[in-house]
A and B are shown apart, each in its own frame.
Chain A
Amino acid sequence: MKSILKNKLNLFLFFLLTINILYIKNISYFKLEILKNSFNKDWIPVYSIYRHEVIESKYLLDKNRIKKFNLSKKIIGPGSSYCCKSTEAVEESDKYTFFRIITYNYPSKFDLKSKYFLFYKNEETSKECEKIDEGKYLKLLKC
């Protein structure tokens, strides 16, 4: 500390370092609310996940104790399971919701053979499917 305070050039460099740290803080998405809840295991990461559907998917699956789930074609999006090989593919496929649901809901696993489907609420579904639960953005069906 003394070696910094004694020398004007060092003090100036320390000032620059502080500016640098503040700059990182400002360009990041730092929020005091996140800091307060950083170790709260039950806190819903509303700032990390920007699609409400993803957060709601966990609520629906946990509430109904479903360990293996399937997703509607609209949620999965067009193209392969990989994302993506070009800018157009990224825009077209919108894999964010699909991938985020998989990572956020783990250890509940996405399984193409599962009978439990998550659909967008406004999606048309087959009459053979039985509605189990629904939220604001998604509905859970057994097909």
Chain B
Amino acid sequence: MLNQIKKGSKIEIVVSILSLLILLNYFVMFISYNSYIIKTIFSVYILTILFFLIYKPLNFFHLKITLIALMVIVLGNPTYAWDAWAIWLFHAKRILLEQSIIAQLDEYALWSHNDYPVIAPAFATSFATLIGGWNNIFPKFAFLLMFFPPLILTIKIFNVRYNLLFLIFALFILNLQLVSGLVDGLVAIYFTFSSYLIYEIFISKQNSFYNLFIAFCFFIILSLLKNEGIVMIIILFLILGAINISKEKILQNYKKIVFLLFSIVPIITWKIICINYNVKNIIINSSIFNFNFFINNIVDYNSIGLIFKFFILDTKFILSIIFILVAFKLTKNKNNFYFSLSIGIAYLFSLVIIFLIVPYDLAWTLETTASRVIMSITLLFTFFGLLQIYKKKSL
């Protein structure tokens, strides 16, 4: 039966199963912490990955080798990154030991950003449940496993040569984010592939059920990874709205958009629970809702200059801009170029606004976060640049 299914569909099925299992794991934990069900879900996830690695017709040797190599590197690396041990793995440890996904929603260790969504820590917890204990090293492995669905999807998007190119670029951009136990790399890759799927469904008009379903899963995962993910999802919906308005067909594809809108239900639920437990975001200080504070910060040209200085000094970001411009010059693919550019600019704009209103020392905030958050746009531009060239070549 497997032989009768096309290669592209097989990949879509594998990606759908993996994405669904990540979500299932989260929702099962949300309902009740049942270790047998959690172990079963994680085992199925591992078996699906093994199937992908072993199944010969999905013959992308280099991707499989890369993923195996990254697994070894992850397991041989200490957990030294501040956010990895102080936020993500600490949340995972708390879920495991308290056997509750809302373990962090108390007054304890407020500096660990207790309001952050927990899909990645929950996945690490499941891995620890399967292993039957905890240490500082192996839970990071679960974060790497969460990279698999979008990376496997690239097999369907590109041929071998372009897949190799994409992997080289992705490893160059994501770098240590793949192995350090941080979730910023996950945010970047899910953002890029959510944007790609939106492009395929709404602009290239690829009416595949799997595309829509994977987009739906990716949206949920992205919004539950980090607060930045929520902003990204809002941007993607705004872009969808803008596409419809520009075509003067406001109700075009409304069924698909409504279906995708349901993807924000889990993050809204999480935020409502946070409010109920009186867990606040320590970055969004109440003073930002003060009109004078907001206006004074927004029109602070020195701060805006400093923010752009940090962005411009990011070599990878600049290279990605040059790359997408060169790709556009070569291919003249306006749809692809303007779509990715509008998403990138919208996110860049929202980043500037966020940096301007955080109640911390701006230079320090930028030093510690600028390169991590700009990475999402860098990967987005690089991916869409490569996609433009690939589509032109394969015509």
Contact = CB atoms under 8 A, between A and B. Distances in A.
Nearest to A81: B111
A92 to B, nearest CB: 12
B164 A85 contact: no
A60 B187 CA distance: 39
A37 B77 CA distance: 11
B248 interface: no
Interface in B39-82: 59, 61-62, 66, 69-70, 72-73, 75-80
Interface in A72-119: 81-87, 89-90, 95, 99-100, 102-103, 106-107, 109-110
Given A20-B168, A20-B171, A83-B111, A103 B137 contact: no
Contact of B76 (A3, A7, A35): A35
B90 A28 contact: no
A95 B363 CA distance: 19
Contacts of A81: 110-111
Contact of B108 (A7, A21, A109): A109
Interface string A1-17: 10110010110011011
A3 B361 contact: no
Nearest to B140: A38
Interface stretch (B13-21, B174-182, B190-198, B332-340): B174-182
A99 B86 contact: yes
B8 interface: no
A3 B62 CA distance: 10
Interface stretch (B128-136, B200-208, B214-222, B307-315): B128-136
B300 interface: no
Contact of A20 (B86, B98, B111, B172): B172
Contact of A38 (B69, B94, B137, B367): B137
A95 B233 CA distance: 34
B367 A87 contact: yes
A95 B112 CA distance: 12
Interface stretch (A40-48, A121-129, A133-141): A40-48
Interface in B80-134: 80, 85-86, 89-90, 93-94, 97-98, 108-112, 131, 133-134
Nearest to B108: A109
Contacts of A30: 73, 76-77
B73 A28 contact: yes
B175 A41 contact: no
A34 B160 contact: no
Given A13-B165, A21-B70, A31 B76 contact: yes
Instruction: Say which size band chain B's interface belongs to.
Output: 35 or more
A13 B164 contact: yes
A143 interface: no
Contacts of A90: 364
A32 B364 contact: no
B85 A48 contact: yes
Most buried by B among A17, A85, A100: A17
Given A3-B160, A4-B62, A86-B364, A43 B108 contact: no
Nearest to B60: A3
A70 B135 CA distance: 24
Contact of B176 (A28, A41, A85): A28
Contacts of B172: 20
A28 to B, nearest CB: 5
B282 A82 contact: yes
B241 interface: no
B76 A17 contact: no
A30 to B, nearest CB: 4
Contacts of A25: 69, 73
A11 to B, nearest CB: 10
B138 interface: yes
A39 B97 contact: no
A45 B135 contact: yes
A24 B85 contact: no
B66 A17 contact: yes
B161 A7 contact: yes
B92 to A, nearest CB: 11
Contact of A34 (B108, B109, B137, B171): B137
A111 to B, nearest CB: 9
B386 to A, nearest CB: 12
A29 B84 CA distance: 15
Contacts of B370: none
Contacts of B266: none
A64 to B, nearest CB: 20
A35 B138 CA distance: 9
Contact of A99 (B111, B133, B165, B363): B111
A109 B367 CA distance: 32
Contacts of B98: 107
Interface of B: 59, 61-62, 66, 69-70, 72-73, 75-80, 85-86, 89-90, 93-94, 97-98, 108-112, 131, 133-138, 141, 160-161, 164-165, 167-168, 171-172, 175-176, 178-180, 282, 359-361, 363-364, 367
